[in-house]
Amino acid sequence: MRKISGVHPAPESVHWVGDGFPVRTLFSHHAQGRRVSPFLLCDYVAPFDFAPTEARRGVGQHPHRGFETVTIVYDGEVAHRDSTGAGGVIGPGDVQWMTAGAGVLHEEYHAEAYARRGGRFEIAQLWVNLPARLKMTRPRYQTLRDDDIPRVELNDDVGLVRVIAGEFAGFRGPAQTATPMNIWDVRIDDRKNATFNLPEGHNLVVAVLDGPIVVNGEGHVRAGETIVFEAHGGAVAFAAQGDAKLLLLSGEPIDEPVAQQGPFVMNSPAELKEAFDDYRAGRFGTIAPLET
């Protein structure tokens, strides 16, 4: 079995991104380093009930360069707009994959209809690194609808896997990725067991969004905790001690320096300075005004 490198506790504090996203950072490059590459961080909005409002609730326009954001919606609705002209609304089961590349401005708000009715809100957002050769690639946006994401039922009514990126049991996810990776939305039913084989050499991180679970027959992991595994060693096994929801992330590590400051992720301080200079000079474009 693949050994556990570390189990990281559920963050105690919540920080608000704008006024619409009360997030906990489950893991990050800053805390776990290259063991989580190509992933840079995972921000999670645990189930949170918002009251109805007529106001725009979320985070206004802000820049990114050098990486990708992946937003997975479990409950609620998110509206996205950016300086490439892309955008749209994603709801339960949908995924938004934005490649910032050379630079993009974007904004994220609760969708208007959802804000008016309020209710349960739950999302996860990943930051995914780009290799140096692609950091200045042209920005792009992928909308991955729930209906387009394969749902693979596990044997013996154990649960299911939604294949967002990569491959599982012969099913390929719809996401186009810059480097090899798997992003699986995994559900394991109470008192059921599941074993997963991941590529040798891939870093492996599992965020336990709902649990608890037993890992490899020995590690007891609770909801909100994150498991980082060794990059070699074969399969991992999970035994659910309640209905479990996992975000399983594996990927070929990007063996390059990471220079991060705020919304930019590059390879050197000089590239970070260039990113800030380009942003201040207006080279990331503009977001069209909302129609009234």
Q: Which residues of the chain have pLDDT under 50?
A: none
Paired tokens of 100: 């910032």
> Which pLDDT belongs to residue 191?
97
What pLDDT, on a 0 to 100 scale, did the predictor assign at position 292? 60
Q: What is the pLDDT of residue 37?
A: 98
SS (H, E, C) the chain: CCCEEEEECCCCCCEEECCCEEEEEEEEHHHHHHHHCCEEEEEEEEEEEECCCCCCCEEEEEEEECEEEEEEEEECCEEEEECCCCEEEECCCCEEEEECCCCEEEEEEECHHHHHHCEEEEEEEEEEECCHHHCCCCCEEEEECHHHCCEEECHHHCEEEEEEECEECCEECCCCCCCCEEEEEEEECCCCEEEECCCCCCEEEEEEEECCEEECCCEEECCCCEEEECCCCCCEEEEECCCEEEEEEEECCCCCCCEEECCEEECCHHHHHHHHHHHHCCCCCCCCCCCC
